[in-house]
Amino acid sequence: MEKDLAEILISSEQIMARNAELAHDIVADFQDRPTTVIILSNGAIIFGADLVRQMSIPLELDVLSAKSYTGTRSRGEVEVAQELHVSIADRHVLVVDDIFDSGLTLSKVVSQLQTHGPREIRTCVLLNKQRPREIKLQPDYIGFPVEDQFVVGYGLDYNHQYRNLPYIGVLHARLYTDTAE
C-alpha cells in the first residue's frame, strides 16, 4: 500500500496528538450534557473510534451511513441511510465525519437530524479541505486543514481501498483512473 503513495501528509503520531486536543475541547463543551456522538460511516469510523475513546464523559454512540463519492469525485448528491438506533430528542449531538469537502454530506445529515428534535447539533471533522464552497455550515471542531487534493488513509478511501493506512497520504496520480482533465 505504501508504494501507492506520493506523500504522507499527516503522520499517525500527529493524528493521535490532535485527536487528544479535539477530544479535550469537545469534552469541555459537552460535559454535564446528555451527549450523543454520531459517526458517519464508512469514512469516519476509524477517526470516530479513536476520538470517542479519548472523550471521558458518558455518551451514547451511533453510526450513520452517508455516501457521496465515486472514485475521486463527489456525485453532488448525498445518500443517508437514516437508521439511528438511539433517540436524539433533547440531546446534545456531535456528528463526526472524516473530511469536509463540498460540505454537502454534513449539511444534509445535520438537517435530517434536526427533524429528530435534538437540543443542539455540533460537527467535528478530522480534515477541512481548503476550497471555496457555497454551503453555510462550518464544522465546529476541525483536526487539520488540507489542500484541495484527494487524500486517503485513516478511514478515507479511494474506491474502498486504503482506509486501513494509519496515516493520511496522497496517492500517486498514476493510480487515479478518473481524474484525467
CA-closest candidate to residue 43, choices 98, 6, 85: 98
Question: Least distance in Å: CB of 114 to ligand IMP?
Answer: 17
CA-closest candidate to residue 68, choices 41, 48, 47: 41
Specify the residue, 102 or 112, whose C-beta has the smaller distance to ligand IMP. 102
> Dihedral sign, CA of 97, 98, 100, 102?
negative
Site string for ligand IMP, 98-137 (x = CB under 6 A): xxxxxxxx--------------------------------
Q: Find which of ligand IMP, Mg ion, none residue 50 binds, CB within 5 to 8 Å per kind.
A: none
Q: State which H helix or E strand residue 106 sits in.
A: helix 104-114
Contacts 24+ apart (CB under 8 A), 17-21: 18/143, 18/144, 19/47, 19/50, 19/51, 19/54, 19/143, 20/54
Candidate ranges 2-10, 40-48, 52-60, 80-88; the one touching Mg ion (CB under 5 A)? 40-48
Is 178 a residue of the active site? no
Specify the residue, 43 or 143, whose C-beta has the smaller distance to ligand IMP. 43
The β-bridge relationship of strands 73-81 and 35-41 is: unpaired
Q: Give how many residues touch ligand IMP by CB under 6 A.
A: 18
| Residue 118 makes contact with Mg ion by CB under 5 A | no
Burial of 58: CB neighbours in 10 Å, binned 0-12, 13-18, 19+: exposed
| Residue 155 makes contact with Mg ion by CB under 5 A | no
| Residue 48 makes contact with Mg ion by CB under 5 A | no
| Residue 63 makes contact with ligand IMP by CB under 6 A | no
Candidate ranges 10-18, 23-31, 97-105, 114-122; the one touching ligand IMP (CB under 6 A)? 97-105
Alpha-carbon span 44 to 39, nearest angstrom: 6
SS3 166: coil
Contacts with ligand IMP by CB under 6 A lie at: 43, 68-69, 74, 78, 97-105, 150-152, 156
Task: Please report, as ranges, the residues that interact with Mg ion according to CB under 5 A.
Answer: 43
